[in-house]
Amino acid sequence: MAVQTVQNNKVAELDIFRPSRSLGAEAWSRLIRNKAAVTGLIIITIFTFIAIFASVIAPENPLQINAGKRFLPPPFFKGSTNIKSESQFLLGTDSLGRDVLSRVIYGARISMVVGFIPTFIILMMGTFIGMIAGYVGGRLDNILMRLTDVIYAFPDLLFFIIVMVALRESFIGRLMNGLILLFAALAIVNWVGVARLIRGQVLSLKEKEFVEAARCIGATDFRIMFRHILPNSLGPLIVSAAFSIPGLIITEAILGYLGVGLRPSTNPADIFITSWGVLMLDGQSAINAQPFLLLSPAICVALVVLAFTFLGDGLRDALDPRMRGTQ
Amino acid sequence: MRKLFALLSLLVVASMALAACGGTTTGTQAPGATAAPVATEPGAVRENTLRINLGTYPDIIDPQVSSFVGEIAHLKLFYEGLTKFNDKLETVPGSAESWEYNADATELTFVLRDGLVYSDGAPLNAQRFAYSLTRNMNPATAGEYSSITDEIVGASEWRGADTAAADYDEAAFTAALGIKASHSDGADCVVNADSGNSYDDADCNTLTLSLRKPAPYFHTIMGIWVAFPAKEESITTGGEVWWTSPVFQVGNGPFIWTVGEPFVRGKFSPNENYWGPKPTYDLEYRYITDSAVAFEAYKNGELDIVPSAAEDLGTIEADPALTAQHMQYPGACTILIKFGLAAKYTAPDGSTYDSPFLDKKVREAFALAFDAEGWTVDVDGKLSSPTWTWIPPGFPGYNPKSPLYYNVDDAKAALAASSYGGPDALNALGLKLTFGDSPRNRQRSEWLVAKYKENLGVDIALDPVEATTFTNITKDPATFPLLARQGWCADYPDQQNWLSVYWKSDTSFANRQGYVNLDFDALIAKADVELDAAKRADYYDQAQQLLLADIPSAFGYNSLNHYLVQPWVKGIVTTPQDSDWPGSFSVETITIDTLMP
Amino acid sequence: MVTYFIRRLFWLFPVLLTVSLVTFIIMRSAPGGPWDTDSERRQVDASTTKSLNAYYGLDKPLWRQFTAYVFGDTNDVSHKFVCGMVCGNLGPSYRQRGRSVQNILFEAPPQQTFWQSRFGYSLRLGVAALAFAIIFGIPIGMMAALKQNTAWDYFGLFIATSGISVPSFVLAIFLIIIFGSWLHWIDIIVDNWIELKYWIMPATVLGFGTMAFTARLTRSAMLEVLRQDYVRTARSKGVAEQFVVLRHMLKNALIPIVTILGPALAGLVTGSFIIETMFSFPGMGRAYVQAISQRDYSMIMGTTVVYALLVAVANLSVDLVYVFIDPRIRLEE
């Protein structure tokens, strides 16, 4: 036991008094050695690529309505209907005879954006506030936590719906098909969960030996917070990010189901045309007629989540200070 | 640590106990009712119960307040009006044996059947109907359909009264109402000294309504739910929440409400005290709103009647058994693409402009470019039918003759002949199609916009608004959208309900859209008071032709009622107005073959 | 300690007041009103709208409607003082005429217990779903952490991924088709909510996301703890493995999990209205979603406040449990 402690203090000492290789560079080299993390990174890159170049990749116009071709099954699948498939539509068609594959490809845009951007905002806001509240404590903690109490107390979905209903026709509600309003609503409600999580972590970590050690040797509060406590809190943070992404994609779908989703587009040149969530909703009611309308977007969401989970786990390991210098 | 485990296991045990607890009584039983559930025959493989999926659970089940299909589907089981509708949607005697108008149709007299009683055996006389009509007009009731009885003398004055005013005198208003219950010889009903009312006077069988203008259609209105005789004692004893409990829903209809489990089921047994032919089965409503779940349950044999969904049509057509069970018949709604006429609209450059639809040629172009047949196939999967006229088939006044049709070339020609000269001038205005947002309405609107682009070359932007916002903006002529898909479903089967209520320029619907046609108004005013049935029908028909020629909207399509019905349910007689479930207007003809495997 | 919690309890009042005020403002800025029903039917006419507005006090200035809701006001028609939210009166529902919001949410149909009210149903389903999440989530997460990078770990990852990426409306229909239509293990139509078997599917679907979250969180917290010095120390001292896992690891790993579970319960209780729709469950989730589209103002306010109270109580309990499981946490006095 004694040996271990001494070693740890040494590490802390080295860390403070001697500038070593930057945390980022070392973490990166550890990350790219992790196969699962690299796979995750590749999947996310592919989907990002698909989202950006959807108009080039999609075989059909996602808005092209094909009369009399509703619910065509994919060529490789014999569904419960007698409708003949057409080789042109690789994943079949939807209720208006539109190509499902093209719609899924275009859907990547809204869903990736809705999944990632608010998650990023939520994590930044939540970490910062949670960290301050937990570390500083006292009156500031009290005020911040009462603020989170108020925001927490709103039923999330109810809040989204009511904000979308009230502000949809306003200026902000019309910006970018309503995306901006959606981001704002999602971020306002969700940072609180992260903040409380981080605060909980900080409360337990700040009593730990290594924090006390750092404090003893005169490290600044800022340094303790972001150099010592934050890396140790990354595990739960990454898990909650991995959950936030599909959660947001699904929330967008549910808002569409309630008639307060993003504005649809009729111009194929537009950036945002449809989303995976909306496709899943269409697919749920048509599960007997055309299961691929549900399966294809659902598989895409699962892949993105899986990729992010792999990447997240890898990131956590890579950033963990206790893993420094290890293979 | 042990404490923690204790805590967790406590949670688990508590959750199980909680889930299981809640007592043994299911729902609210109606005690003292004369209903006995129908016995099941020996050898039967299924219960003698008709299980129907009704969809949404009703918000309120009160005859003078309710207004939604699912709410009325309950009311019409355990209540009956003075008149009712037969399978041809003709008005036939209900609780009244006969009715008669005076010479100028300003007075309507109903004579009730002999020996009418409520399901609990209490006598049902004309005073009961007078009570429910009075209740409907009372501003304190403030029912959503209360304006439907405004033809009765004194009704609109009372409804418009300020109940908070210091000099508000309810007695004066009720005394001024043109509602009178009496004996058949005109003598007043006998007031019982104990109860202070005349509900037990069995000879009180005549109800006379004084109308403020001739209204030869008014007997038909007395067949709808607002005139159902809710029992006063139930309402006073049950308080404001009386309608939630089957105990207080004592009625005069063919069924008795026996069990009400909110969101789970409603059970109904035949009313032994009903005057007419009694149903031979129990009835059960289920409230499953997800069509995919209901379809699975139907295929599993857990439901007897479910509405079919457009998405499942392919599956139904691929299975001969399901195809045979699929029942389709005309519905009660006509859906239009309405043109906003009165409001000012804003172009993308910020300038405002008058509706281009004020130009009749533009209206013509948009009406002729609407591919109704394509719509019914592509969007509704053949679960609706195209129409070029206003009153739907099966309703009095239906006439397929119409100056409208679908032809792209004629539509283009009309647009070219308009003051805009073609699509480009319209495109500069930034036309919008506004709709109440839902996944289904999105598909509809996307199709519509794509078709107009294809047929006329006009660009129309999609403008989804939240559903209640949509209702709100369509209520005001100043905010009525440029293009909106809206429809009308019959309240009662009469031309008056289609033409006067909807298109007369002083009524709310035409007014909101900004539609005025004075020739049409004059003709309708004549028709509404005409006593000769043939002449009246002729006036309405002329008015309808006048309306169609003026093209206030693209006429559109009719709803179809479409249900899956299990093969053991027999004897269903449908009418276009059965939009709750097939056969709901003639429950007595339905039988269930309990022996059929 | 005790004074801390008492102070927190007092804090509930400003929290609830703020929540009601914000809800009120957003709600009333939404276009439309409670009498704007479906546009394809006869509309409520002007004089009826006037009577209704007068009866429900909707013709008063907005600030007064708010104070009337929260504190109370004199009714113009009956001339009696009606006490508001502070007396537990959540106001009359505009759509379910004659019923008050507290009646709709908390009162069961006659002859039934509190547990058969909409809130009671939701509470039971929420607790069942949470129990499901804990019973399966924590062990799956523990196994995944202790046997990192083995089949156990990947199985846990699979469960977690499907749990979070499959929306409840999809999971529900899959379960219904598999267990109802194919295997015939369970009726699709729920016969009653007394038998336990009918609770299995909705509780599973509702709890699945939380279960996945709990599993992932447990796994990552366990991995975190595994590297801590005191665990290494305990192991090197030769302490029995089960004891190390339970005494040292699980207990410390539970801290972040507990943070999530409190609000999760509150979230599960108001439930997913989608699950209620799919399983025809008589809970309160649908009540509030419906209330928004109906502009049933008191119902919106009432459900929000009930929910807010629930979350506040859940959070308070979390803080209590914190102290309970981690003696090093000192709550300031």
CA–CA distance from B454 to each of A1, B380, B423, B449, C224 (Å)? 80, 19, 11, 9, 61
| Helix B2-20 vs helix C118-146: crossing angle, to nearest 10 | 140
Q: What are phi and psi of B234, to 5 degrees?
A: -60, -40
Tokens matching residue C105: 């949410």
How high does pLDDT run on average in chain C? 84
Within a 10 A sphere around the Cβ of B556, how many other Cβ atoms?
Answer: 25
Backbone angles phi, psi at A71, to 5 degrees: 55, 45
Beta strands at B107-112 and B91-93: parallel, antiparallel or unpaired: unpaired
CA distance C216 to chain B (A): 19
Q: ∠C49-C53-C57 over CA atoms, to 5°?
A: 175
More confident residue, B46 or A232: B46
- Range list of H helices, chain C: 2-29, 46-56, 62-70, 101-106, 118-146, 151-165, 168-175, 197-226, 229-236, 241-243, 251-270, 273-278, 285-294, 297-325
Give the separation between CA B522 and CA B97, rounded to whole angstroms: 35
Helix or strand or coil: residue B477?
Answer: coil
Q: What share of chain A has pLDDT > 90, as a percent?
A: 13
- Whether the Cβ atoms of residue A266 and residue A273 lie closer than 8 Å to each other: no
Average pLDDT, consecutive stretches of 10 residues, N- to C-terminus, chain B (597 residues)? 51 53 45 56 84 92 91 94 91 94 93 93 93 93 89 92 85 93 91 88 93 93 94 91 90 93 90 93 93 91 92 88 94 93 86 92 95 90 91 93 94 94 91 89 90 93 88 89 92 92 87 91 92 93 95 92 95 90 92 88
Predicted local distance difference test score (pLDDT) of residue C330: 56
How far is the C-alpha of B355 from the C-alpha of B432, rounded, in Å? Answer: 12
User: What is the C-alpha to C-alpha distance for residues B110 and B131, in angstroms, rounded to an integer?
Assistant: 15
Residue whose C-alpha is closest to residue B151's, from B221, B217, B79, B211: B211
Most A CBs within 10 Å: which of B288, B315, B458, as the mutation test of the A interface?
B315
In terms of pLDDT, which residue wins out, A245 or B554?
A: B554
Q: For residue A321, what pLDDT is reported?
A: 61
Facing A96 at nearest CB: one of B315, B443, B469: B443
User: What percent helix, strand, coil does chain B show, rounded to 5?
Assistant: 35, 20, 45
Cα separation, A245 vs C90, in Å, equals 36
Residue pair C255/A207 in contact by the 8 Å Cβ criterion: no
Q: What is the pLDDT of residue B92?
A: 94
Asked whether the beta carbons of residue A167 and residue C18 sit closer than 8 angstroms, the reply is no
Q: pLDDT tens digits, residue range C167-193?
A: 888 888 889 889 888 888 888 888 888
Instruction: Check B22 against C190: CB less than 8 A apart.
Output: no
Query: Which chain B residues touch A285 with a CB distance below 8 Å?
Result: 290-292, 309, 311, 439
Whether C15 and A232 lie within 8 Å, measured CB to CB:
no
| Dihedral pair phi/psi, residue B202, rounded to 5° | -70, -20
pLDDT tens digits, one per residue of A96-140? 889 999 999 999 998 889 888 999 999 999 999 998 898 888 888
B460, B465, B468, B474: CA torsion to nearest 10: -30
| Local confidence band at A70 (pLDDT 50, 70, 90 cut-offs) | confident
- The more confidently predicted of residues B61 and C268 is B61
Listed in sequence order, the DSSP H helices in B54-125 are 69-78
* Cβ atoms B571, B316 nearer than 8 A: no
Euclidean distance between CA atoms C186 and C188, whole angstroms: 6
Which of A112-121, A154-163, A187-196 has the weakest average pLDDT? A154-163
Q: With CB atoms and an 8 Å threshold, state whether C256 touches A201.
A: yes
pLDDT (mean) for A69-97? 85
Q: Rounded to whole angstroms, how far apart are CA atoms B137 and B174?
A: 9
CA B453 to chain centre: 34
The answer to whether B37 faces chain C, any CB pair under 8 Å, is no
| Two structure tokens written together for B76 | 């019409």
In DSSP notation, C41-101 reads SPPPPHHHHHHHHHHHTTTS-HHHHHHHHHTEEE-TTT--EEE-GGGT---B-SSSTT-BH
Q: Which of C27, C223, C326 sits opposite A204 (nearest CB)?
A: C326
Of C302, C192, C109, C289, nearest to B243 by C-alpha is C109
What pLDDT was estimated at residue B248? 92
At C296, the amino acid letter reads D
Distance between start and end Cα atoms, chain B? 59
Q: Do A285 and B449 touch (CB under 8 A)?
A: no
Q: By the 8 A CB rule, do B267 and B275 touch? A: no
Distance CA(A122)–CA(C63), nearest Å, equals 33
DSSP result, A224-291: IIIIIIHHHHHHHHHHHHHHHHHHHHHHHHHHHHTT-SPPP---TTSS----HHHHHHHHHHTTTT-T
Residue B65 near chain C (CB below 8 Å): yes
- Cβ neighbors of C285 (< 8 A, separation 6 or more) are C122, C270, C271, C272, C273, C275, C276
pTM of the model: 0.86
pLDDT at A203: 84
- Asked whether the beta carbons of B450 and A266 are under 8 A apart, the reply is yes
Question: Which of A209, A235, A250 is nearest residue C167 as measured by Cβ atoms?
Answer: A250
Q: Quick check: C48 contacting B, CB < 8 Å?
A: yes
What's phi and psi for C39, nearest 5 deg? Answer: -75, -10
Q: Could you say which residues from 98 to 157 on chain C have a Cβ atom under 8 Å away from some Cβ of chain A?
A: 157
Helix axes A100-136, A138-153, angle to 10 degrees: 150
Cβ neighbors of C214 (< 8 A, separation 6 or more) are C133, C134, C137, C138, C141, C257, C260, C261
At B31 the pLDDT is 44
How large is the C-alpha radius of gyration of chain C? 24
d(CA A141, CA A125) in angstroms, rounded, equals: 15
- Cα of A209 to nearest chain C Cα, Å: 10
* The pLDDT of residue A135: 86
- Which of A96, A288, A290, A293 should be substituted to probe chain B, the one whose Cβ sees the most B Cβ atoms within 10 Å? A288
Paired with B259 in beta bridges are B29, B267
Q: What's CA A29's distance to the chain center, in Å?
A: 24
Strands B107-112 and B206-210: antiparallel
**Tens-place pLDDT, residues A309-322:** 788 778 877 776 66
Judged on CB neighbours under 10 Å (0-12, 13-18, 19+), B194 is exposed
Q: Rounded to an integer, what distance in angstroms lies between the CA atom of residue A93 and that of residue A296?
A: 12
Q: Is C131 on the interface with B (CB under 8 A)?
A: yes
- Please list the residues that pair with C72 across neighbouring strands: C83
Instruction: Please give the distance of CA C2 from its chain centroid, rounded to a whole number.
Output: 27
Phi and psi angles of residue B460, each rounded to the nearest 5 degrees, phi first = -120, 130
Chain C residues within 8 A of B18 when measuring between CB atoms? 115, 123-124, 127-128
Take residue A39 and report the two structure tokens written for it: 């796979």
Residue B220: what pLDDT?
A: 93
CA triplet B150, B153, B154: central angle to 5 degrees?
85
> Rounded distance, CA B471 to CA C251, Å?
55
Window B:461-500, CB contacts with C under 8 Å: 466-475, 486-489, 491
CB A67 within 8 A of CB A97: yes
Residue B554: phi and psi, rounded to 5, are -85, 125
pLDDT of residue B11: 53
Taking all residues of chain A, what is their mean pLDDT, rounded to a whole number? Answer: 81
* CA C209 – CA C137 distance, rounded (Å): 10
Question: Which pair of structure tokens corresponds to residue C246?
Answer: 């339970």
Q: In Å, how far from its chain's centre is CA B232?
A: 25
Number of H helices, E strands in chain B: 20, 22
Q: In this model, does residue A42 exceed pLDDT 50?
A: yes
